[in-house]
Amino acid sequence: MTDWRISPNRPCPCGSGKPSRWLKDARGIAVARVCEDCEAGKKQGYRPDIFTDPSYWADETIEDD
């Protein structure tokens, strides 16, 4: 049985019913689950530099796994 929380074929939570994927920042940190319909809108909720600059400013420590 596949765990729906990690399944690559998980439907997007936006309600489109389309397959979703993780939107990641420039450091590879998962930000949101998106599909082609909602990706642009989700990105608007974040500073643009987090998607292009892996050295972006953050007010908390970001640790490598």
Residue 35: which of 22, 26, 45 has the closest Cα?
Answer: 22
Tell me the pLDDT tens digit for each residue of 17-45.
999 999 999 999 999 999 999 999 999 99
Q: Within 10 A of 24 (CB to CB), how many other CB atoms are there? A: 13
Contacts 24+ apart (CB under 8 A), 42-47: none
Say whether pLDDT at 62 is over 80. Answer: no
Q: With left for phi above 0 and alpha for psi between -120 and 50, is residue 7 left, alpha or beta? A: beta
How many structural domains compose the chain? 1
* Domain contains 61: no
Average pLDDT of the residues in 5-22: 85
Is 15 part of a structural domain of the chain?
Answer: yes
Q: Is residue 62 part of a domain?
A: no
Residue 1: what pLDDT?
Answer: 46
Q: Is residue 24 within a helix (H) or strand (E), and if so which, with residue range?
A: strand 21-24
Residue 12 sits in which domain range? 1-55
